């Protein structure tokens, strides 16, 4: 820093320390004005654009099965078959509509839809009630463990189980051998 920068910095720190907010803000503003402007070096944009122009343009990803002639032939064949079936489509749909209307009336369809909606709503309410009950049990079980005494008891139980595991492991490894039955 130049000496003028040091003077402005010390003036700002002294104003902040003494609680003179207006002078501190003015000194800080002067200190920030003394900083060099942030600008890229000359020719930076030209170098970036030249580098981008030299980079190869990535080819778009193509799926091999879409570009294959077999797939194109299959799509063309399905369009031809669909176009050929259009004259018979209206007759087929008319016969299906007449057979459906004999089996179900519009009232039956509405009754079926409302029954399904009621059944779905009731099962959702039952699932939410079960979830609320399980959350209540979880809160009741978690409440004692939030106290420091229970945390200390849990840590004590953990230490006892670690010591028991250590002794059990030593006992098992000490008596282990490749001979399962001693010879007589």
How would you write the pLDDT of the chain (184 residues) with one tens digit per residue?
Answer: 455 778 888 888 899 899 888 888 898 888 888 888 788 788 888 888 888 777 676 776 666 667 788 888 999 999 999 888 888 877 777 777 776 656 667 787 788 889 999 999 999 999 999 999 999 999 998 888 888 888 899 899 999 999 999 999 888 877 666 666 555 5
Confirm whether 159 is domain-assigned. no
Tell me if 30 sits within 8 A of 2, measured CB to CB.
Answer: no
Q: Write out the residue range of the structural domain in which residue 3 sits.
A: 1-38
Nearest-angstrom CA–CA distance, 161 and 153: 12
Q: Which residue, of 85, 103, 121, is where some domain finishes?
A: 103
Confirm whether 81 is domain-assigned. yes
Which pairs from 145-150 meet CB under 8 Å and 24+ separation?
none
Q: What is the pTM of this model?
A: 0.30
The number of distinct structural domains making up the chain is 2
Given 3-state DSSP classes, what are the helix, strand and coil percentages for the chain, each rounded to the nearest 5?
A: 80, 0, 20
């Amino acid at each position: 820093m130049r000496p003028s920068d040091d003077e402005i910095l010390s003036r700002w720190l002294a104003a902040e320390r003494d609680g003179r907010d207006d002078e501190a803000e003015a000194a800080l503003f002067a200190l920030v004005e003394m900083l060099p402007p942030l600008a890229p070096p000359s020719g930076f944009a030209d170098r970036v654009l030249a580098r981008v122009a030299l980079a190869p343009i990535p080819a778009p990803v193509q799926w091999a099965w879409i570009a294959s002639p077999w797939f194109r032939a299959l799509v063309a064949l399905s369009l031809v078959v669909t176009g050929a079936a259009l004259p018979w489509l209206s007759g087929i749909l008319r016969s299906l509509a007449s057979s459906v209307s004999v089996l179900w009336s519009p009232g039956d369809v509405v009754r079926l839809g409302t029954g399904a909606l009621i059944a779905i709503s009731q099962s959702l309410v039952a699932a939410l009630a079960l979830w609320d009950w399980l959350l209540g049990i979880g809160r009741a079980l978690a409440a004692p463990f939030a106290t420091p005494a229970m945390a200390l008891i849990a840590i004590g139980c953990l230490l006892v189980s670690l010591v028991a595991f250590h002794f059990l492991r030593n006992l098992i490894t000490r008596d282990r051998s490749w001979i399962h039955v001693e010879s007589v």
